[in-house]
Amino acid sequence: MYLLGKDAAELEELASSLGERAFRGRQLYRWLYVKEADGFAEMNDLAKGFRKRLSEKVMISPVRVDDVSRSAGGSVKLLFALPDGNRVEGVLIPDGERLTACLSSQVGCVIGCRFCATGRMGFIRNLSAAEIVGQFIAMNKAVRMKISNVVMMGMGEPLLNRRELFKAAGLITDPDGLGISRRRFSVSTVGWVPGIEAMRASGLRLKLTVSLNGTTDGQRRKLMPLAARFPLADVLHAAKEYASHTRQRLTFTYLLLAGINDSPVDARRLIKLVSRIPSKINLMEYNEIGGEFRRSDDIVTEDFQEILRSAGLTATLRKSRGLEIGAACGQLAGRYAPGSGRVLKAIY
């Protein structure tokens, strides 16, 4: 059993089960999520007997850093080993005074996006809240700069693991704990409608990012097979409802692929799709992983962006970071070969 991933009430219950008063659990919470303790020995306001019983019954984190890669631009990719022998990757992205942690939610991914290394790998399993929080804390210790932002954009579709995701998000954004602002915690989805609805009902008020990557249902079916279970109209309705409920502006990401979805016609269709939703658009450069797709030409990308801006939309181009260490968007695969996991369309 691992302590990370447990909330204050669960830690109070644990303390009571070990013969201590409940408030010891709150002290334990502070050691885990404020001081980010590595071991029980440093928890010096807890009785030695309690610490001994803890060490016999539980461990702190299920996550171990197996490898660290650093890019010339400052991005850092970490390979995490998990207790069952599986592994995931996460990325730290510096940008001025901001440091963003990109966390994984699954080992692999079931969606099957054809342009993504994780999607080509297939699905192995969901991560626990302990494993999601464990990534964050391991990243916080990997660099001197404090993490300011979190994006659930690593391996996996976060909203297909929403119970563990929401629990981890609650812990990471707890002002009495790890303290990341909910306005700086973003969940990225391919448009998994039940997950967006559950996120709205959760009351967490996290930031929502929706990956469109196509302006017709036909395009999305070809690019993101399982995401096409939900038509664009349903995805956009759920996104609009989320924006209305939380009073937040959404982010739509749009991956530009040469000759596939980067024409002026696509740009004008995109305008019609999102113009009535409070949002901004992040245009993304394709990070090639080998295969059929190519990055859009710079002139084509600039023209696409200008069409959006001329229509009054906020459209920014997100430059690739960490490309040379395989840390850019769509490149995370935990060193698994394509086809290592399963395609579990029937499950979802």
- For 231-240, the CB contacts below 8 A with 24+ separation are 232/191, 232/273, 234/193, 235/191, 235/193, 235/196, 235/210, 236/273, 236/274, 236/277, 238/191, 238/193, 238/196, 238/197, 239/191, 239/196, 239/208, 239/210, 239/277, 239/279, 240/276, 240/277
Q: What is the DSSP letter of 290?
A: S
Clarify whether 109 is annotated catalytic: no
For residue 3, the SS3 value is coil
Q: Which of 102, 109, 116, 329 is catalytic?
A: 329
In the annotation, is 116 catalytic? no
Catalytic option among 89, 131, 164, 285: 89
- Alpha-carbon gap, residue 94 to 78, rounded angstroms: 14
- Contacts (Cβ under 8 Å, ≥6 apart) of 301: 256, 262, 283, 285, 317
Question: Which residues are tagged catalytic?
Answer: 89, 329
